[in-house]
Amino acid sequence: MDLPPPPIPDPARTSLFLDFDGTLVDLAATPDGVTVSPELGTLLRRLGETMPGRVAIVSGRSVAQLDAMLGDHLTGIAIAGSHGAERRTPDEGHVQPDRTAPLERAVAELQPYADANGLIFEAKTLGATLHYRADPSREEAAVAMAEEVAARHGLHAGRGKMMIEVRLPGDKGSALRTLIDSAAMKGTEPWFLGDDVTDEDGFAAAQALGGAGILVDPPRTTKARYRLDDVPAVHDWLTKIANRATEPTA
């Protein structure tokens, strides 16, 4: 059964948790291939201004990657990067664990494997990703390799769309539960938007705290309560929230 589209929540009582790839920007063939349109930049700046401290990007990307792609558009917006293993908030600044020796050893094994097997290797602050979007027949072997390396080095292996990552632990539900305690978000309803399996923890956490999860994908089994078709539908919904936030009160 399909899920209904989400209503427009009251921006004064809501915090927004936004996945990046597949939710704010369309998926691309390569990690570096995504496009941040000027319209998305303007929308994020409006949300940061009208809901100060109550908008967060919660992504598998690192904070450094999001900074490189979004730059000044992130003013007033909190970030949970690396699937929640690092965060940057107005309250705390940038909280980030150190890279560990096991992580360095795992990365040193994964990069040559990717190069030798036609995979895109993505180096990240707190992990590394093997991408098989260009050749999905590589999936089974890449997943087996990454899971074995992660287990041997005591790291986390996590799957996403056409990729597997080896990284320090973190999940988007824990990230939401930490961010919602910030001064600006405390007492608000968390709404979490995402397209991938890693977003399911965010949907569950949002709903357990009285908010909602919104799947951005075709209908599938999900913990989310609402669904939007695609990235343009997300931009449209967020624009309506920003408009509501600037409506004169009666």
Ligand X SMILES: O=P(O)(O)OC[C@H]1O[C@H](O[C@H]2O[C@H](CO)[C@@H](O)[C@H](O)[C@H]2O)[C@H](O)[C@@H](O)[C@@H]1O
Q: Which amino acids are annotated catalytic? A: 19
The number of residues making up the chain comes to: 250
Stretch that binds ligand X, among 45-53, 156-164, 217-225, 237-245 (CB under 6 A): 156-164
Query: Contact between 222 and ligand X (CB under 6 A)?
Result: no
Query: Contact between 131 and ligand X (CB under 6 A)?
Result: yes
SS3 151: helix
Instruction: Report which residue's Cβ sits closest to ligand X.
Output: 60
Query: Contact between 217 and ligand X (CB under 6 A)?
Result: no
| φ/ψ (deg, to 5) at 215 | -80, 135
Query: Contact between 27 and ligand X (CB under 6 A)?
Result: yes
What is the C-alpha end-to-end distance of the chain, expressed in Å?
39
Query: Contact between 42 and ligand X (CB under 6 A)?
Result: no
Site map (CB under 6 A) of ligand X, residues 176-215, x = contact: --------------------x-x-----------------
Strands 163-167 and 156-160 turn out to be: antiparallel
Return d(Cα 208, Cα 147) in angstroms, integer.
30
Strands 93-95 and 120-124 turn out to be: unpaired
Query: Contact between 59 and ligand X (CB under 6 A)?
Result: yes
Q: Under a CB-based contact definition with an 8 Å cutoff, are residues 126 and 80 in contact?
A: no
The contact set with ligand X (CB under 6 A) reads 19-22, 27-31, 34, 59-61, 122, 124, 129, 131, 133, 160-163, 165, 196, 198
